[in-house]
A and B are shown apart, each in its own frame.
Chain A
């Protein structure tokens, strides 16, 4: 892995992604946890750019930093416990061992089969643009059914969430 813009970007975004992830699971303060989550997801958006999917990166920032962060912060403020939760963690050691084991299994199971394969030189030069995605989304041989199902899902989520969260007494 020689030193160039992409590898520098990869290292920087890895630090963002993993550091943010650690921040999320370790901070006691949920507001700071949200900010850490956004740092982590910003790193993921950076990966998308490195992987030539800038549209997904922009959408990632729009959806997570623009909307989900705000929503989580609103929820944190709404559910602030009067009695602070004393202990941060439960079952800390078993959880740690379990997730470490999972990480090792994933690492071994995922990297060994593809190690060396898919050399960087063989990846396609030409990548799909947003226009290709748009055409495929509404193509009857493409993704038109999932496209409409996504709309149904969002509608259901919005109606359901409003129904649950609405305060009838107010």
Chain B
């Protein structure tokens, strides 16, 4: 929105408005334009989510309101608006009401730094990638506050479990995020996209993408990590005491968060708007970003509807004993190999201007390293799976396992 802002700003200033006021107004228009994108998509996302889930489960899904059920979300919103909003007497009113707002706002705020096209973006912060992680921590605190302010045992227990899950999976997420930052030599999301002109980062560090994908699936509380809404075990988790529109806000935030993470992954690893003919028109660039983000989003929906939920001890063990060591090892391996190549002069030091040909030797070597790591990991996982199956056939071990799970 930069050019629009400065353009509007100068027009307003010429028409005799105060310079500060002109700037404020142009910023306001920019904010409304940028925030409009997530707010409009979220209505569509809920419909897509339900339709995809229905198709996977061999149902039809919403099909009554509007063409192919497109207006179902609007109908649901009207229903939620007319619902009575119950605030428990024991609740801490201020925090109870603020929590859903902060939860939703923390997701919308991420969109401020997302570059839609080479020229259309809210802001290009020097610390864009870090901003994305920092803003997400507000969401965690909001969940904690919601659980506590409800003044309900189940809400608090649910919030504790969710927060433990969220903070645990943030560690591999940030370690995986370091790789695109390292390759591009910048935290600005615009620079990260531009650095992928020669080669997408998914090719340079596929393992980092896998780690990022898994942990962002956990960050958004999706299956197989959906402890947030494990309705069969936790009554409803941290949002048990919420009703009406406030309850709806937590859900809207979750749906939007999944899609936002898809877009972020498209930017970090799939070259954002880069694709054939992207320079022809901003619309094509925007379409590329939307297509890539949408595709990643669809795979998360697919996962959500096919994979069963894990127990919390399994989730934690998977994170701390597998994902975190793996993400550290990946960071060290890739950074070591790349530094060695740079010292030998085989890899360019500046990816922003490196072409495809210059990057080819680097790509091949990094791919070999990543491939070797992935093969080794698959071997480890297969062995663990075999062990687990053997244990589950042994009745005594099975009983011991049940005892451990019940704790």
How long is the Cα–Cα vector from A32 to B145 in the complex, in angstroms? 9
CB distance from B325 to the nearest CB of A (A): 15
Please state if A62 and B130 are interface contacts (CB–CB under 8 Å).
yes
Please give me the residue from chain B that is nearest to A170 by CB atom.
B407
B134–A58 touching, CB < 8 Å: yes
The minimal Cβ–Cβ distance linking A170 to chain B, given in whole angstroms, is: 10
Question: A55 to B167, Cβ gap below 8 A?
Answer: no
Residue interface mask A1-45, B partner, CB < 8 A = 1: 000110000000000000000000000000110010010000000
Q: What is the CA–CA distance of A73 and B144 in the complex, to the nearest angstrom? A: 9
A50 within 8 A of B: no
Contact with A along B125-165 (1 / 0, CB 8 A): 11100110111111011001100100000001000100100
Given known contacts A35-B95, A55-B126, A130-B127, is B141 in contact with A61 (CB within 8 Å)?
no
Contact size class for B? 20 to 34
Size bracket of the A interface: 20 to 34
Which residues of the partner chain A approach B135 to less than 8 Å between Cβ atoms?
Answer: 61
| Shortest CB distance A37–B (Å) | 11
Give the distance in Å from the alpha carbon of A65 to the alpha carbon of B144 in the complex: 12
B141 & A58 in contact (Cβ 8 Å cutoff): no
Contact indicator A58/B145 (Cβ below 8 Å): no
| Cβ of B336 to closest chain A Cβ, rounded Å | 15
Known contacts A4-B20, A129-B126; is-contact A38 B141 (Cβ 8 Å)? yes
Q: Known contacts being A70-B141, A70-B144, is A130 close to B126, with CB within 8 Å?
A: yes
> For residues 42 through 92 of chain A, which have their beta carbon under 8 Å from a beta carbon of chain B?
54-55, 58-59, 61-62, 65-67, 69-70, 73-74, 77
Knowing A4-B20, A31-B148, A77-B160, the reply to whether A69 touches B130 (Cβ < 8 A) is no
> A69 contacts which of B20, B136, B141, B156 (Cβ < 8 Å)?
B141
| A interface, CB within 8 angstroms of B | 4-5, 31-32, 35, 38, 54-55, 58-59, 61-62, 65-67, 69-70, 73-74, 77, 129-131
